[in-house]
């Protein structure tokens, strides 16, 4: 089975989601044989190219593309590389750029695209994919229709990242590309980054999340203090986002993001079905709420029935002691 891994990098650093994709690719290669091709489109002097062999690439296909990301450019570049190399499976992390252009790519190739997978198995000669639907309320098992390649994007924080093997080396293949300018009708003019140190909730191992129990927007500072102590991301319920207390990027739930951290700390969140849909796959859930009947307690592993304004500062202090901060 020949597998493409779509590499996303930032300067010298390979993104965590890409390492998760390599982990899965290596596992499938160990079962079925074949080769892993890492495909990197970048304008940054292939600084992470050599590292890709450490993470399991048998071949690295490097496309020097100075014009930055656009769905049209990436669709054109990938479709030509795929037609040339004919992989069976294409793996990528489910990030905003990947989810942006893979639908175009799948339509171009008439290939199955299975997004945000939580599981990939191979049995006999067939690949089986699982993903959540109804915003996390239930799961579905699927296959591709028989066309190759199958494109699968992987939900972050589910698949184990590949461990680097520093003994592995290889030669990077430079793939020349030329695209007619009129093929690209969108252009990124500016990128605005979020607050420094803000951790993306879909990648975070720990999330501290605030709900209506916070009573006002300023009180998110209590959540932030606990999050900073734990190196965690800040999450939010829909009510707090709608009230303007925090940006929508932090919203967890049916009209926000679905998250799978190791630990989700729900503070002053009652646990409406729409919120649960977004976080019920968390490995461990700690809930803090004054209402012992709050729905969140139905799915929590641990709970404190108490006032978050007392509990959270004490928790923060206790964690600081534990972690020697």
Contacts of other proteins in 54-73 (CB under 8 A): 71-72
Applying CB under 8 A, which of residues 11, 84, 189, 218 lies at the interface with other proteins?
189
Interacting positions 128-157 with other proteins (CB under 8 A): 128, 130-145, 147
> Residues with Cβ < 8 Å from 90, sequence gap 6 or more?
3, 4, 5, 6, 82, 149, 150, 151, 152
In the list 90, 111, 207, 269, the residue contacting other proteins (rule: CB under 8 A) is 111
Q: Give the one residue of 125, 166, 181, 186 binding other proteins; rule: CB under 8 A.
A: 186
- Out of 191, 216, 218, 244, point to the residue binding other proteins (CB under 8 A): 191
Per-residue buried b or exposed e for 132-148, using 16+ beta carbons within 10 Å of the residue's own CB: beebbeeeeeeebeeeb
Q: Residues touching other proteins: how many (CB under 8 A)?
A: 97
Q: How far is the CB of 228 from other proteins (least distance, A)?
A: 14
Beta bridge partners, 63, equal: 41, 175
**Three-state SS at 34:** coil
Contact status, residue 235 vs residue 287, Cβ threshold 8 Å: no
If residue 208 lies in a helix (H) or strand (E), which one and from where to where? strand 206-210
| Residue number with CB closer to other proteins (50 or 71) | 71
CB of 292 to other proteins, least distance (A): 7
Site for other proteins in 229-248 (CB under 8 A): 230, 248
- Among the candidate windows 23-31, 84-92, 200-208, 209-217, which touches other proteins by CB under 8 A? 200-208
Q: Which of residues 259-318 bind other proteins (CB under 8 A)?
A: 262-263, 273-274, 277, 280-281, 283-287, 292, 297, 299-307, 310-311, 314-315, 318
Cα angle 78, 83, 84 (rounded to 5 degrees) comes to 100
Closer of 57 and 115 to other proteins (Cβ): 115
Q: Is 325 in the site for other proteins (CB under 8 A)?
A: no
Instruction: Check binding of 194 to other proteins (CB under 8 A).
Output: yes
Cβ 172 vs Cβ 62: under 8 Å:
yes
Query: Is 217 a binder of other proteins (CB under 8 A)?
Result: no
By beta-carbon proximity to other proteins, the closer residue of 167 and 186 is: 186
As measured in angstroms, the least distance from the Cβ of 112 to other proteins is 4
Tell how strand 126-133 and strand 113-123 pair up. Answer: antiparallel
Cα 100 to Cα 108: distance, rounded to the nearest angstrom: 14
Q: Between 15 and 32, name the residue whose CB sits nearer to other proteins.
A: 15
Span of 21-29, 40-48, 164-172, 254-262 interacting with other proteins by CB under 8 A: 254-262
For 259-289, b/e burial (b = at least 16 CB within 10 A) is: bbbebbbbbbbbbbebbbbbbbbbeebbbbb
Do 118 and 132 form a contact (C-beta atoms < 8 A)? yes
């Amino acid at each position: 089975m020949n597998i493409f891994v779509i590499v996303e990098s930032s300067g010298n650093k390979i993104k965590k989601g890409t390492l998760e994709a390599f982990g899965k690719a290596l596992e499938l290669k160990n079962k079925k044989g074949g080769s892993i091709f890492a495909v990197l489109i970048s304008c940054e002097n292939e600084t992470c190219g050599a590292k890709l062999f450490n993470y399991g690439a048998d071949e690295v296909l490097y496309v020097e593309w100075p014009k930055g990301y656009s769905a049209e450019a990436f669709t054109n570049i990938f479709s030509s590389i795929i037609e040339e190399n004919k992989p069976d499976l294409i793996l990528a992390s489910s990030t905003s750029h990947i989810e942006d252009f893979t639908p175009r790519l799948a339509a171009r190739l008439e290939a199955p695209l299975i997004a945000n997978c939580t599981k990939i198995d191979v049995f006999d000669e067939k690949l089986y994919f699982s993903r959540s639907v109804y915003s996390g309320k239930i799961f579905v098992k699927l296959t591709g229709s028989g066309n190759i390649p199958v494109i699968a994007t992987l939900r972050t924080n589910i698949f184990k990242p590949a461990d680097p093997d520093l003994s592995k080396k290889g030669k990077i293949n430079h793939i020349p590309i030329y695209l007619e300018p009129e093929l690209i009708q969108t252009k990124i003019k500016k990128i605005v980054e979020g607050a420094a140190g803000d951790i993306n909730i879909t990648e975070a191992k720990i999330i501290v999340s605030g709900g209506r129990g916070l009573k006002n927007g300023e009180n998110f500072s209590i959540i932030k203090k606990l999050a900073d102590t734990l190196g965690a991301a800040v999450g939010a319920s829909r009510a707090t986002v709608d009230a303007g207390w925090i940006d929508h990027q932090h919203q967890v739930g049916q009209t926000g993001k679905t998250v799978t951290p190791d630990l989700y700390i729900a503070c002053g969140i009652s646990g409406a079905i729409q919120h649960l849909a977004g976080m019920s796959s968390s490995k461990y859930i700690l809930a803090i709420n004054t209402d012992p009947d709050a729905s969140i307690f139905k799915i929590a592993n641990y709970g404190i029935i108490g006032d978050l304004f007392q509990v959270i500062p004490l928790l923060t202090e206790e964690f600081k002691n534990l972690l020697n901060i």
